[in-house]
Structure formats: C-alpha cells, structure tokens
A = this chain, B = another copy of it.
C-alpha cells in the first residue's frame, strides 16, 4: 500500500484499517486523520507520537491501561486482539514453562498494583527472557518514569503494526 492510497481513504476506512495501531485506542487514528495528506510512513508515525506526547499524564496512563496483560487472562481465553495474539506469540509467550508463567504473573500483578496499568513492552523486539528481565527491572521505576517508558514501547509497537499494514494491504483491494 502506498502513501497515496492511505491519503485517499475516507475517515471510516482509515479508522477501520489503522484503528488498532495503538491497542484499543481508535481515537488516536481518528484524530490524526486530520493531518492528511501524509508525506510518508514516518509522517504518520510522527503525527501519532505528537498526539500521544501532548496527552496529559492520565491520557498516557489510559493508553497503557487499554493494553492487555502479557500472557494474561485474555491470552489464556483467546480474547486478545489479532495484533496482540501475533506479537505475544512472536516473543515466545505462548511457550512459557510453568515456572516462567508463574514468575511473569507474579511480576505482572506486582507491576499493575504499583502503577495502575499493565506492563507494556514491544514483544516483537524482545524474547521471553528479555521480557522477564525488563519487567523485573522496570517494576522498580517510579510512576512518571514508567508511564513514559511504557508509552515509548507503545510507539515501537505502533511502528511495527503500521509497517505491517502498509506491506500487507494493496491499496487497490481497499
């Protein structure tokens, strides 16, 4: 899909295609549609980053809260979004040993109790060992640092989802 094809989408088609590049936050895709025409993928990403950065802290926390727990309840029930299912699988989170799963759940619970949002990490850029280490490290951060760290991970996830869509959707088929 070329950038001209993206720029030709009406808002409904744009939201339908890009609505989940930030997990469960279609408002963000709906907002940046205002910035068309985009010059390239970087421009789309920059508009998204700008929107996220301008949100007050509770908005950034809200973005993180709209993410699922890693290897959590929704994954076990098969209720993750399509994108999250693929990402968690790519990180090997569907092949955790019982011991790893217990450790991850314990740390996830501790993390969520401390910060009020789930641990978010770009699973496609980290295998399960790195994720467990990252969680052990990041749970020690303070709230402000961790909100910003989580949001930077969201931007990385967003980038990969954006590239997937551009690669896999021929404009002609839209």
Contact = CB atoms under 8 A, between A and B. Distances in A.
A57 interface: yes
Contacts of A57: 34
A32 B55 CA distance: 12
A63 interface: yes
Interface size bucket, A side? 20 to 34
B117 A63 contact: no
Interface string A59-78: 10111011000000000000
Interface of A is mostly: helix
Contact of A34 (B27, B34, B58, B66): B58
Contacts of A56: 31, 51, 54
Given A11-B116, A11-B117, A27-B25, A34 B62 contact: yes
A28 B26 CA distance: 11
Interface of A: 11, 15, 24-35, 51, 54-59, 61-63, 65-66, 116-117
